[in-house]
Amino acid sequence: MSRRGIAATALAVTAALGLTACGSSDDEGGANTTAAEPVAGGTLKVAFFPDNPQFTCLDPFQTYWIEHRTVIRNVADSLTDQDPKTGEIKPWLAKSWEVSADGKEYTFHLRDGVTFSDGTKLDAAAVKANFDGAQGVVKETGGTAYGASYILGLDHSEVVDPLTVKVVFSAPNSSFLQASSTTNLAIISPDSYKKTAKERCLGQYVGSGAFTLESYKPNELTVLQKRPGYTWGSALSKNTGEAHLDRVEFSYVAEDSVRTGNLVSGAIDISWPRSPITVEDRELIKKSGGVIESRSLPGVASAYYPNASAGHVLSDLKVRQALYKGIDLATYAKTSFGDDYPVVGGAFDNTTPFYASQASKLAYDPDGAIKLLEEAGWKPGEGGYRYKDGKRLTIVFPTSSLSVSSELIQDQLKKVGIELKLDVHPPAELPALYKNGAYDLASSYFTRADPGALQFLLDPKYANSKALATNAAAPETTAKIQALFAKARETTDDAVRKQAYADLQALLIDEGVVFPQYERVQFAGVSKDVHGFAFTSESFLKLNDVWKQQ
């Protein structure tokens, strides 16, 4: 199928699905779109959540931290770009591409005249060097590099001519086209791959982006400089040429209130938190003339995964279904994050391509929950909880921190007689608990604008935690899940993908495999002087159109 064909189908599919971009400001230009012509120059100051304490790494292929990926998006370009509104894949470094009929070969035709910031040419050989380098990292890390899932099944890549590169898979991987648009497969110079993986983590690489990385002091300050002569921005930005801003400074602030205070007092221009900005802080920012931007992070929603293996209370489908009915997701969203916060509607956040809402099956119905528990033999007893054979209906949820939100769910479940035991452990101990199956619910999420992301949680063959994937469903259900993932992965027809992912999303709720908790929304507080704010399709910050009132 031709690229145009795929693109057209993708468009039709996403339109049919009603892919919603959840943004608080309707106009795409972000804050104060009334202002006329962009002004060039100035330094944009952005305050992030603290840098990743577990893994300091700014290398596109190796890193998973949202803030790192935001920095990378602005210094390194990708072969393709993804439209945040439709999920459609658009040209960027590659002006066109073809996918072979068997879905195993992707041929990219590169744009001419693109250079890395060290002056070397971005050609087919450079792209091949990236895929070779990525495969090298996967091998070196024993398969643990984060980017490994983005090139699943990659066999090799080959230079067809100076501007044409062919990527060959041993098995079809329909998620790869979306992967080619991500920061994880952003193209960096071949020389960058001569550095060690550690050196690249500390920012020793160059890309072809609208900004260059001037310095990276982990958890302190990351500085970007405008790249003069940049002319190859993706058409998804209004400004495809040189950036308006001269310089961007990312600082790292741990305290939410301090980040908000800095924004309100004018010390920074954009506050970029990890958890949603509180209702109070949002008011404060709006009062100062600033704007709140928000967009759901596409990919796997924040959700609980059950341990449905034999001997655990959640092995009974009726109990799992009662769990859905016993949790009031609307109240949860409203209480935890504010009135207008989106209510999660399934395994994926609503900005994920092929998202199909299961909201009707997730409605709060305490009477229905009680009925199901009665049918399953759990009778009311001491302390308002339910019992069967003298055993209390207890669901163990290991967590590293207690929060008001998890206590809210605990409270909701108590009303139907289920005890949710919040079992607090240091983060370091959780992996062992999951591995040993010493849990009933485990929570997880994964940011990637492609539903295929979920197979790295739920398909035991590819899952990052084999225990979590294996325990999440009975073997026959797991087989169905694997079949649907395979169907979506192996087709080149978007209509087939759409059907497979729709069936999958329904199955996951019908069989009680995923218990959505909340939609993960990326917030940003933006000063009134900043214009042209934009989210990428994966809800990272895109700076091409951003300019600052001087």
Partner 1 sequence: MTRYILGRFAQALGVLWAAYTVTFAVLYLLPSDPIALQLGAAGIETDKLTPAELHTAKARFGLDRPILEQYFSDLWGFLRGDLGESIAKQQSVASLIGDRLAPTLSLSLAAAVVALLAGTALAYLASYVRWRPARLVLTRLPSFGASFPQFFIALVLIQFLSFNLGLLPATGIRGWKSLVMPTITISILVASQLAAVLMRSFDDTLSQPYIVTARAKGLSRAAVQWHHGLRNALLPATTILGVLVGLTVTSSIIAETVFSRNGIGKLAQEAVLAQDVPVVLAIVTLAAAIFVVVNLVVDLLYPLLDPRIVQGQRKEVTI
C-beta of 435: minimal distance to partner 1 in Å? 5
Q: Which stretch binds partner 1 (CB under 8 A): 23-31, 165-173, 255-263, 496-504?
A: 255-263
Helix axes 494-510, 3-17, angle to 10 degrees: 40
201/395 with CB nearer partner 1: 201
Question: Would you state the torsion angle of the CA atoms of residues 8, 13, 18, 19, taken in this order, to the nearest 10 degrees?
Answer: -80
C-beta of 66: minimal distance to partner 1 in Å? 13
| 216: Cβ contacts below 8 Å, ≥ 6 apart | 58, 71, 202, 203, 222, 223
How far is residue 220 from each of residues 16, 68, 256, measured CA to CA in Å? 45, 13, 16
404/428 with CB nearer partner 1: 428
β-bridge pairing 247-252 and 43-48: parallel
Taking CB under 8 A as the rule, does residue 143 contact partner 1?
yes
| 456: Cβ contacts below 8 Å, ≥ 6 apart | 149, 446, 462, 463, 464
C-beta of 291: minimal distance to partner 1 in Å? 19
Q: Which element (helix H / strand E) includes 302? A: strand 299-306
Q: Pick from 157, 182, 262, 406: which binds partner 1 (CB under 8 A)? A: 262
C-beta of 223: minimal distance to partner 1 in Å? 13
What would the x/- binding string for partner 1 be over residues 369 to 408, using CB under 8 A? ----------------------------------------
253/420 with CB nearer partner 1: 253
What would the x/- binding string for partner 1 be over residues 410 to 449, using CB under 8 A? ----------------xxxxxxx-xx--------x-x---
Q: Which of residues 17-46 bind partner 1 (CB under 8 A)?
A: none
Separation CA 161–CA 159 (nearest Å): 6
Q: Which stretch binds partner 1 (CB under 8 A): 10-18, 249-257, 306-314, 513-521?
A: 249-257
379 and 387 in contact (C-beta within 8 Å)?
yes
What would the x/- binding string for partner 1 be over residues 148 to 187, using CB under 8 A? ----------------------------------------
Angle at 183 between CA 11 and CA 68, to 5 degrees: 135
Q: Which of residues 111-130 bind partner 1 (CB under 8 A)?
A: none
- Chain-centroid distance, C-alpha 452: 11
C-beta of 510: minimal distance to partner 1 in Å? 26
Structure tokens at 414: 């108590």
**SS3 of residue 301 by DSSP:** strand
Q: Pick from 136, 153, 261, 381: which binds partner 1 (CB under 8 A)? A: 261
Size of the site for partner 1 (CB under 8 A): 54
Q: Which of residues 270-299 bind partner 1 (CB under 8 A)?
A: none
Separation CA 90–CA 506 (nearest Å): 29
Q: Which of residues 48-77 bind partner 1 (CB under 8 A)?
A: 52-57, 64
Helix, strand, coil percentages in the chain from 3-state DSSP, rounded to 5: 35, 20, 45
Q: Which stretch binds partner 1 (CB under 8 A): 27-35, 73-81, 195-203, 229-237?
A: 195-203
C-beta of 49: minimal distance to partner 1 in Å? 11
Structure tokens at 438: 């010493």
20/401 with CB nearer partner 1: 401
Give 443's strand partners.
304
140/340 with CB nearer partner 1: 140
C-beta of 330: minimal distance to partner 1 in Å? 29
165/453 with CB nearer partner 1: 453
11/197 with CB nearer partner 1: 197
C-beta of 155: minimal distance to partner 1 in Å? 19
228/426 with CB nearer partner 1: 426
19/284 with CB nearer partner 1: 284
530 and 269 in contact (C-beta within 8 Å)?
yes
DSSP 41-93: --EEEEEESPP-SS-----TTT---HHHHHHHHHH---SEEE-TTT--EEESS
| 258: Cβ contacts below 8 Å, ≥ 6 apart | none
| 156: Cβ contacts below 8 Å, ≥ 6 apart | 131, 168
341/434 with CB nearer partner 1: 434
| Binding positions for partner 1, rule: CB under 8 A | 47, 52-57, 64, 140-146, 198-199, 201-202, 217-221, 251-255, 257-258, 261-262, 264-265, 267, 426-432, 434-435, 444, 446, 456, 463-468
